[in-house]
Amino acid sequence: MQQSQPNNPLHGVKLATIVEELQEHYGWDGLAERIDINCFKNDPSVKSSLKFLRRTPWARRKVEALYLASFARNNPWQKY
């Protein structure tokens, strides 16, 4: 049974989807430039990034924040 979370913009979005969309948008070099973590710098892949982000809450928060800043519909800094 799923609970409604109207104030959570990431509700229902999988971490794999977040990493894939960010990688597609910025590329690995762009991600490494924006978020200084080794899984984006040294031999990056979606699989290795997911493994690291699932074990490292502070890094996951940074990735989720970048995702929201990049793709959130109500982001006042993003031009449509």
pLDDT tens digits for range 36-55: 999 999 999 999 999 999 99
Q: What is the CB neighbour count within 10 angstroms for residue 22?
A: 23
CATH topology of domain 14-53: 1.10.720
**Global confidence as pTM:** 0.81
b/e string for 45-71 if b means 16 or more Cβ within 10 A? Answer: eeeebbebbeeeeebbebbbebbeeee
Query: Each residue of 15-35: pLDDT tens digit?
Result: 999 999 999 999 999 999 999
Cβ proximity of 34 and 43 under 8 Å: no
